[in-house]
Every structure is written in structure tokens, then in C-alpha cells.
């Protein structure tokens, strides 16, 4: 059976965490797990049922508390820390590519990044685009630059004739 006994300094530290506004809900639940085990003497299955967690989760927190102390309450991301310098270099190159006067697909951007020595998949490129806030861009130009001025003039005259016929018929 797992139970925690808190020293006076640990009790003060956990009490301070109980009123910490920066805690996430899951971290608050971890504080409650420690308190229910130490103060109320609840069993692991009882705590798990009360808080809506699996018994193995509660058991893991209570088992780690004597070794790690109050740090067990804070959620720590698994894996290596984020590589900030790589993120900045990828975003810088993406901004230079997006500044060009053309539209890009994620696959084209991933290939464009490859020419700068950055290997990303199109899916990962989309994630970077979302973080930049430029995951979707409409073309601002109209089709006027592709139209033949003579054909436009003929079509405009035909439209005017059709409009006049419609007005006269009614």
C-alpha cells in the first residue's frame, strides 16, 4: 500500500502549490493526490476513483513523490527541449520564400527549403506556416493582366447591346 508522509517543509511547499494560479488542472489534481494520500490517508484506488484517474497514474505520482518531492506535481514534457535556433532559421527562410511574388504549395516550399539545406516534409512545413500565420494566402491580382484588350472591348460592346435590348423589351 502506498502512502505519503509529509515533513513540515514539504507540507508548506504543497500548500503553496495548492494556491498557485499558474498550475494547470492536471497539476492541481496531482497536488490533491498528494494531499489525499498524506492527510486523509486515502488508498490509491479511492483517490483514482475520486479524481477520475487510473490507479496506475495515482500510484506513479505517489511513488515518485518521496524521490522528487514537490517537482513531481509539475508536468514536464517528454523528449528533448525545443530547438529554438532551428525554428528561427526555418522561419527566416520561409519568410524570404513567401516574400516572392508567387503562390506556393507546402510541397513546393519544402523543396525550396531543401535548397537552403533544411529538410522538412510538406506536413511539417504546413505547421511552420500556421505558426507564422500565413498558412493560407489568396492571390491579390485579378485576371486583368492576362486579358487581351481588343477582346475585352468587343465583349464590353456586346454586353452593352444586350443590356439595351433587354431594357427596350421590358
CA-wise closest residue to 112 among 128, 65, 48: 128
| Cβ count within 10 A of residue 111 | 14
Domain ranges of the chain: 8-73, 84-132
> Hey, what's the torsion of the CAs at 119, 123, 124, 127, to 10 degrees?
150
CATH number of the 8-73 domain: 1.10.10
Give the pLDDT confidence of 89-123 residue by residue, as tens digits. Answer: 999 999 999 888 888 889 999 999 999 999 999 99
The answer to whether the predicted template modeling score (pTM) of the entire model surpasses 0.75 is no
> What would the pLDDT profile of 6-50 be if each residue is shown by its tens digit?
888 888 988 888 888 999 999 999 999 998 998 888 999 999 999
Angle between helices 84-98 and 106-114 (to 10 degrees): 110
Size of the chain in residues:
170
Q: Do residues 37 and 60 touch, judged by C-beta distance below 8 A?
A: no
Amino acid at each position: 500500500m502506498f502512502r505519503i508522509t509529509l515533513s513540515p517543509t514539504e507540507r508548506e511547499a504543497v500548500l503553496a502549490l495548492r494556491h498557485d494560479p499558474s498550475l494547470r488542472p492536471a497539476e492541481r489534481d496531482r497536488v490533491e493526490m498528494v494531499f489525499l494520500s498524506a492527510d486523509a490517508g486515502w488508498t490509491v484506488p479511492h483517490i483514482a476513483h475520486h479524481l477520475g484517474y487510473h490507479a496506475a497514474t495515482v500510484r506513479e505520482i505517489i511513488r515518485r513523490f518521496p524521490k522528487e518531492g514537490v517537482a513531481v506535481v509539475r508536468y514536464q514534457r517528454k523528449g528533448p527541449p525545443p530547438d529554438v535556433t532551428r525554428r528561427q532559421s526555418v522561419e527566416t527562410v520561409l519568410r524570404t520564400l513567401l516574400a516572392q511574388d508567387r503562390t506556393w504549395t507546402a510541397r513546393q516550399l519544402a523543396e525550396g527549403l531543401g535548397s537552403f539545406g533544411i529538410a522538412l516534409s510538406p506536413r511539417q512545413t504546413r505547421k511552420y506556416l500556421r505558426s507564422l500565420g500565413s498558412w493560407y494566402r489568396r492571390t491579390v491580382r485579378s485576371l486583368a493582366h492576362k486579358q487581351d484588350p481588343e477582346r475585352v472591348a468587343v465583349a464590353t460592346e456586346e454586353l452593352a447591346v444586350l443590356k439595351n435590348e433587354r431594357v427596350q423589351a421590358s
